[in-house]
Amino acid sequence: MTSGWLSWVRANDVEIMTVLRNQASNLVKASSVLAESISDYGTLKEKNNILKNLEHEGDQFTHKLFTIIDKTFVTPLDKEDISELTSAIDQVLDSTYGTSDKLVLFKIQKPPRHMQEFVMLLETATQEIYGAVTELHKGKREKLLEHSKAISKCEHEGDSVYRFAIAELFETYDAIDIIKLKEVYETLENALDRSRDVADVIEDIALKYR
C-alpha cells in the first residue's frame, strides 16, 4: 500500500492520536522525573509526589481514550490495536511510579549503583515509545519498526543490568535490604518489560497495515 496507510482525517481520529501522544509524552515526563530523583536522591519524596500526579494523569488519558473508541472508533486501525497500545503505555507508567513509591515506602536511604543505569534505559525506552506514537499517523513502517527495535533493545539490556544488580545485592546487603531492593528492581524491570509490550504492539501495527 502507498505511503499514508494511516491517514487520520476524521475529527475523532485526530482526537485519538492527540490523546495517545499526550499519554506517551506524560510517560516520558514520568521516566525523566524518576531519573532525576535517583540522580538527586534528596528530592525523592518531592519527585514521588510529582510522579503520583503524572500517574493519575495517565489514568485519565487511558480512560478518555477508551471512552472515545467505545463510542466512535472507525479508522484504518483495529480498535483492539489502540486498546492494547494505550493499556501497555499505562502499565509502563504504573511501574515507573511504583518504583519511586516503593523507594519511599521502604525508606531506602541510598539507591544501589545499578539503579541509575536501569532508570536511564527506561528513560530511553519511553522516548522511543513517544517517537513511535508520533509516527503512527505518518504511515512510515520503517520508522515504526526502528522505534520498536530500539525499545526492545532497552528491555534486553535491562535484563542484563537486572542480573548484575541482583547478584550485587546478595554480596553487599543484609537480608532485609535485599528483600526491599529486590522488589524495587523487580518493579523497575516490569516497567521495561511492559515497554517491550508497547514495542510488540507497534510492530504488529506496522506489519499488519501494509
Per-residue pLDDT of the chain (210 residues; tens, 9 = 90+): 444 444 444 556 788 889 999 999 999 999 999 999 999 999 999 999 999 999 999 999 999 998 888 776 555 467 788 899 999 999 999 999 999 999 999 999 999 889 999 999 999 999 999 999 998 877 678 999 999 999 999 999 999 999 999 999 988 878 999 999 999 999 999 999 999 999 999 999 888 765
Q: Which of 104, 99, 112, 105 shows the shortest CA–CA distance to 178?
A: 112
Q: At the topology level of CATH, where does 11-208 sit? A: Methane Monooxygenase Hydroxylase; Chain G, domain 1 (1.20.58)
* Separation of alpha carbons 5 and 61, rounded Å: 25
d(CA 37, CA 43): 6
Say which residue the cell 488519558 belongs to: 61
Name the residue ranges covered by the structural domains of the chain.
Answer: 11-208
